[in-house]
């Protein structure tokens, strides 16, 4: 873009990845003059397509669960062909002996997966899985309630009014949280993996519960907590 000395902008955004593009779109829609800068020769950031040894793949982003449904509507992504498909199972944990447990969108499928692993129905394990999912979901819904709050002070004030169970969950370490549930360690490791990728910390670090809950703020095809992938790959966004 050629600029003149008289050009003025209300906002300058550095980086035309998918987050920068969304921010620029909303700011421009509000009437502000936006200047968007990208050092690469194409936009999209981690969601852009790359050719690796003749295979088309994403530059880094793999799942679209954190693309808020309201953003897809506001930017009319569906009119341009965007459709996300929920992962099913949402989590697939693999034991050392190769057996698996999957956490599916349907509780019946999850129960079948647990039964296949143990060789018998295990309502006690299912009960703890369900209890864990309820605790994570409750904290996730609280985190979503904070999104519209602008300042850190207001967010902290909102947090102080959260239910004590939600505060305790978000402030606890992942290690501490998982001592409360009696399902296999390899399943706990699979559940913790995504949260640890966000925090770059250990399972003993306080606040791990917040990361677990944040991962559960995903939403795909209007299913709260569900991760998914766009038809055609992330670069189709």
Instruction: List the pLDDT tens digit at each of the 237 positions of the chain.
Output: 444 445 789 999 999 998 999 999 999 999 999 999 999 888 888 888 888 888 888 877 888 888 888 999 999 999 988 899 999 999 999 999 999 999 999 999 999 999 999 999 999 999 999 999 999 999 999 999 988 887 888 888 888 888 999 999 999 999 999 999 999 999 999 999 988 987 888 899 999 999 999 999 999 998 999 999 998 888 777
Task: Report the pLDDT value the prediction gives residue 2, as an integer from 0 to 100.
Answer: 45
Task: Report the pLDDT value the prediction gives residue 87, as an integer from 0 to 100.
Answer: 95
Q: Are 68 and 82 in contact (CB under 8 A)?
A: no
Cis ω before 89 (30° cut-off from 0)? yes
Q: pTM to 2 decimals?
A: 0.83
Instruction: Count CB atoms within 10 A of the CB of residue 80.
Output: 9
Instruction: Count CB atoms within 10 A of the CB of residue 214.
Output: 20
Phi, psi of 41 (to 5 degrees): -80, -5
Phi, psi of 31 (to 5 degrees): 105, 0
Q: Which helix (H) or strand (E) holds 23?
A: helix 18-29
């Amino acid at each position: 873009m050629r600029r003149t000395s008289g050009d003025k902008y209300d906002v300058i955004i550095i980086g035309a990845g998918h987050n920068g593009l969304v921010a620029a779109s909303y700011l421009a829609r509000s009437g502000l003059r936006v200047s968007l800068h990208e050092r690469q020769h194409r936009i999209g950031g981690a969601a852009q397509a790359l050719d690796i040894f003749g295979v088309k793949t994403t530059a880094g982003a793999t799942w679209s669960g954190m693309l808020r449904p309201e953003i897809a509507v506001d930017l009319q992504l569906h009119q341009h062909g965007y459709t996300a498909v929920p992962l099913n199972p949402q989590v697939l944990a693999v034991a050392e002996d190769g057996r698996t447990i999957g956490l599916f969108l349907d509780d019946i499928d999850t129960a079948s997966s647990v039964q296949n692993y143990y060789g018998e129905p295990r309502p006690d394990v299912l009960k703890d899985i369900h209890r864990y999912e309820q605790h994570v979901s409750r904290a996730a819904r609280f985190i979503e309630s904070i999104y519209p709050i602008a300042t850190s002070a207001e967010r902290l004030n909102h947090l102080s009014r959260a239910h004590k169970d939600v505060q305790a969950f978000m402030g606890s370490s992942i290690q501490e949280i998982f001592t409360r549930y009696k399902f296999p360690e390899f399943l706990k490791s699979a559940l913790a993996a995504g949260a640890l990728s966000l925090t770059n910390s250990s399972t003993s670090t306080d606040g791990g519960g917040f990361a677990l809950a944040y991962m559960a703020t995903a939403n795909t095809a209007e299913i709260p907590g569900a991760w998914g992938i766009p038809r055609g790959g992330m670069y189709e966004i």
